[in-house]
């Protein structure tokens, strides 16, 4: 675990801080007192936490950069595996990998294999696995751009073999 310094990065959960933070976020320490650590969110906003919380939430700068300065925590995503594209929600972020939950199944993958999608798309399709043999990443990513597809639309697109429940 990285050391807590006056220039450290933090991966904060909204319930741990006061303010209008709806989702997990990255922040940089701006100053420290004996028991309090003050930070500035990389997405805007400032706050403070107790030193033990800041110690627990300290993260490497390289991890922040791999996520493009925005936490993926609790976000709706599509994760690319060896054979499939799976939609779900990020439930854990560890250095350079994430854990995505999709319909009760947890899938681990590198941050580089995860792309944020519209929440409604992940919610409606988290019980569907898109097989790479039949679907391109661009097709999966664009599914929610115009309208959510119905099961019959997906079935007519590729037959019953190329989509299936995860697990």
- pLDDT tens-digit readout, 123-166: 888 888 899 999 999 888 887 665 445 554 444 444 444 445 55
End-to-end CA distance of the chain: 32
User: Are residues 152 and 80 both part of a single domain?
Assistant: yes
Which are the contacts of 150, defined by CB distance < 8 A and separation ≥ 6?
none
Instruction: Provide the pLDDT for residue 23.
Output: 93
Residues 58, 119 share a domain: no
Could you tell me which of 130, 85, 141 has the C-alpha nearest to residue 109?
85
pLDDT of residue 166: 54
Half-sphere exposure of 121 (CA within 13 A, CB side): 21
% of the chain surpassing 90 pLDDT? 66
92 plus 56 within the same structural domain: no
**Do 88 and 118 lie in a common domain?**
yes
Cβ contacts of 112 within 8 Å, gap of 6 or more: 66
What CA dihedral angle connects 152, 158, 164 and 166, to 10 degrees?
-110
Residues 141 and 86 in one domain: yes
Residue 71 covered by a domain: no
- Total number of domains in the chain: 2
Residues 123 and 95 grouped into a single domain:
yes
Is 122 within a domain?
yes
Residue 58's CB: how many other CB atoms inside 10 A?
Answer: 18
| Residue that finishes a domain, picked among 66, 90, 108 | 66
**Is residue 147 situated within a structural domain?**
yes
On the question of pLDDT at 97 being above 50, the answer is yes
Which single residue is written with the structure tokens 């993958």? 109
Q: Note down the domain range covering 128.
A: 76-164
């Amino acid at each position: 675990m990285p050391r807590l310094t006056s220039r450290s990065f933090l991966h904060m959960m909204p319930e741990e801080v006061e303010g209008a933070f709806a989702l997990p976020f990255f922040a940089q320490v701006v100053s420290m007192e004996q028991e309090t650590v003050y930070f500035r969110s990389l997405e805007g906003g400032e706050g403070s936490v107790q030193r033990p919380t800041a110690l627990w939430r300290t993260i490497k700068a390289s991890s922040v950069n791999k996520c493009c300065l925005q936490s993926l925590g609790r976000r709706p995503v599509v994760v690319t595996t060896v054979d499939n594209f799976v939609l779900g929600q990020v439930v854990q972020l560890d250095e350079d990998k994430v854990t995505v939950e999709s319909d009760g199944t947890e899938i681990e993958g590198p941050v580089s294999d995860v792309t944020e999608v519209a929440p409604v798309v992940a919610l409606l399709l988290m019980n569907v696995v898109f097989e790479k043999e039949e679907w391109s990443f661009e097709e999966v990513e664009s599914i929610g751009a115009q309208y959510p597809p119905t099961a019959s639309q997906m079935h007519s697109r590729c037959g019953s073999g190329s989509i299936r429940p995860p697990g």
